[in-house]
Chains A and B, each alone.
Chain A
Amino acid sequence: MNFKNHDIISIYDFSKEDILYILKTAKKMEKRSNPSLLKNNIMATLFFEPSTRTRLSFIAAMEQLGGKVTGFANSKITSIKKGETLWDTAKMVEQYADLIVIRHHLEGSARLAAEASSKPVINGGDGSNQHPTQTLLDLYTIQKSKDTLNNLHVGILGDLKYGRTVHSLAIALSHFNPIFYFISPDALKMPRNYITELREKGIRIYETPNLLSVSKKLDILYVTRIQQERFPDPLEYEKYKGVYRLDSSLTKYVKKDLKIMHPLPRIDEIDKSLDNTPHALYFEQAANGIPVRKALISLVLGKIR
């Protein structure tokens, strides 16, 4: 498999084999340090929308492999606000970078940047559409803790309507014959088009507002934040923000080897009392961003195969 010069834009672009290959490469990256692999390579981070967590993870991945980083963390302090099109920005940046990481609030922006640029582009999040490196690190985390991605009982809880993370995760896992438990209040259910798409692939789906009615079945419980900024009406947000609060009392109602994941940052969905239980996987999940991003950067730069 050769990813040289490929763009990483959307989880829809990846076959099952692609995904497994990337995860295998991430594992290699985690095992072996390689401090001069990307010597002489430059990564530009174009963060039109601030996201410190994602940006720092990309920078750490690049620097740990000996590469250099340029770019901006916030488009308000660059010339870009002055009406330059995204197309032109991507064309300009390809002159001095070997690789572009872009985060932008407009959906489809990363795809457009990739079409403009002859250098590989990695999507660091385009609005509420895609965030493929998050999805891949989620898969990596699951595979690492369960030794497989196949046939797992996966619960996804919280805001399933607006949560981009959970949409991409569900689509990505659909390659691996999961059984899904979508747990959310009625108003925040998984959009019907995703349900249809998954069912057409023959995947079993249970939808319920009640976590405890399914908790005993789960191998993985993926918890998401109910994001205030996605609600047009602040009153709606108030109504739902505290609906699902997990704490250590949950441990009585789950399998011994249930693992709980969360893309972080959390607000109050997961109480600290769960942090020291064997179920907590979310801090390890965050740390897995580095080997996965190292793998993606090195693959698209053609430095490993």
Chain B
Amino acid sequence: MSKSKSINKELSVAAIKEGTVIDHIPADASFKVAAILKLRKDPNMVSIATNLNSKSLGKKGIVKVSNKNLTEEEVNKIAVVAPNATVNIIKDYKVKEKIKVNLQKVIENVIRCSNPVCITNHESISTIFNVEKENPLQVRCHYCERVMGKEDIKLIG
């Protein structure tokens, strides 16, 4: 317990020189953000922190990726799990740009369809979901038309 606490503390203050810092992730969503961005296979230095104290969220998560500027498309994909996240592009230890994530109307290849008899679970094609409501999140599968709420949403991979 005390050990993990100290690791978190270290990470929360560790600054990166170049790269991207994603802040204000819900406490339980840091690993999901990392999964959506496929950071497990990323050769750069990646830090994933959860359960950090936050004034606005109570607990929050942070994900940092060195030497990599995320594209807007990548950033928007994480809106499914972290709708209020801010993305800081870091240059020479300074925040060069702040991007608010923006939930797109169509979410491609991020969510898995919860319908076992949906064609997307049987044929290797990208999933496509149309966002019907943002808060709370409600999406509809482009193929089988099933409506999924936040609690049904499972990520691909």
Q: Among the interface residues A12, A105, A108, A112, which one has the most CB atoms of the partner chain B within 10 A?
A: A108
B9 proximal to A (CB < 8 A): no
Encoded as 1 (CB less than 8 Å from any A CB) or 0, chain B from 130 to 148 comes to: 0000000000011111110
**A108 vs B122: C-alpha distance when bound (angstroms):** 11
Q: Check B119 against A193 for contact (C-beta < 8 Å).
A: no
User: With contacts A85-B123, A87-B125 known, is A108 near B147, CB below 8 A?
Assistant: no
Question: Smallest CB–CB gap between B114 and chain A, Å?
Answer: 12
Q: Check B119 against A107 for contact (C-beta < 8 Å).
A: yes
B102 proximal to A (CB < 8 A): no
**A105 vs B119: C-alpha distance when bound (angstroms):** 9
Q: Which 3 A-B pairs have the closest CB atoms?
A: A108-B143, A107-B144, A108-B119
User: With contacts A107-B118, A127-B117 known, is A12 near B145, CB below 8 A?
Assistant: yes
Give which listed residue, B117, B123, B146, contacts A112 with CB less than 8 A. B123
A contact residues around B8 at 8 Å (CB): none
Q: Check B143 against A107 for contact (C-beta < 8 Å).
A: yes
B115 proximal to A (CB < 8 A): yes
- The chain A residue with its CB closest to the CB of B147 is A193
Encoded as 1 (CB less than 8 Å from any A CB) or 0, chain B from 103 to 123 comes to: 000000000000101111011
- The chain B residue with its CB closest to the CB of A87 is B123
Question: Smallest CB–CB gap between A305 and chain B, Å?
Answer: 29
A117 proximal to B (CB < 8 A): no
A contact residues around B125 at 8 Å (CB): 87, 112
Question: Smallest CB–CB gap between B90 and chain A, Å?
Answer: 40
- Inter-chain contact total with CB atoms closer than 8 Å: 47
- The chain B residue with its CB closest to the CB of A108 is B143
**A106 vs B146: C-alpha distance when bound (angstroms):** 12
User: With contacts A111-B142, A127-B117 known, is A106 near B122, CB below 8 A?
Assistant: yes
Give which listed residue, B115, B117, B123, B147, contacts A86 with CB less than 8 A. B123
B contact residues around A86 at 8 Å (CB): 119, 123
Q: How large is the interface on A (under 10, 10 to 19, 20 to 34, 35 or more residues)?
A: 10 to 19
Question: Smallest CB–CB gap between B58 and chain A, Å?
Answer: 30
A contact residues around B141 at 8 Å (CB): 108
Which chain A residues (245-274) contact chain B, with CB distance < 8 Å? none
A contact residues around B122 at 8 Å (CB): 106
Q: Check A106 against B117 for contact (C-beta < 8 Å).
A: yes
Q: Check B144 against A127 for contact (C-beta < 8 Å).
A: yes
**A87 vs B120: C-alpha distance when bound (angstroms):** 12
Question: Smallest CB–CB gap between B121 and chain A, Å?
Answer: 8
A5 proximal to B (CB < 8 A): no
- The chain A residue with its CB closest to the CB of B146 is A107
**A109 vs B125: C-alpha distance when bound (angstroms):** 11
B contact residues around A109 at 8 Å (CB): 119, 143
Q: Check A107 against B145 for contact (C-beta < 8 Å).
A: yes
Which chain A residues (27-85) contact chain B, with CB distance < 8 Å? 85
Question: Smallest CB–CB gap between B73 and chain A, Å?
Answer: 21
Given contacts A87-B125, A105-B117, A107-B145, 4 further A-B contacts (CB under 8 A): A106-B119, A108-B143, A112-B123, A112-B125
User: With contacts A105-B117, A106-B118, A127-B117 known, is A111 near B143, CB below 8 A?
Assistant: yes
- The chain A residue with its CB closest to the CB of B120 is A108
Q: Among the interface residues B120, B142, B144, B147, which one has the most CB atoms of the partner chain A within 10 A?
A: B144
Question: Smallest CB–CB gap between A286 and chain B, Å?
Answer: 26
A10 proximal to B (CB < 8 A): yes
A contact residues around B144 at 8 Å (CB): 107-108, 126-127, 129
- The chain A residue with its CB closest to the CB of B125 is A112
**A207 vs B135: C-alpha distance when bound (angstroms):** 28
A130 proximal to B (CB < 8 A): yes
Question: Smallest CB–CB gap between A229 and chain B, Å?
Answer: 12
B contact residues around A130 at 8 Å (CB): 145
Encoded as 1 (CB less than 8 Å from any B CB) or 0, chain A from 3 to 24 comes to: 0000000101000000000000
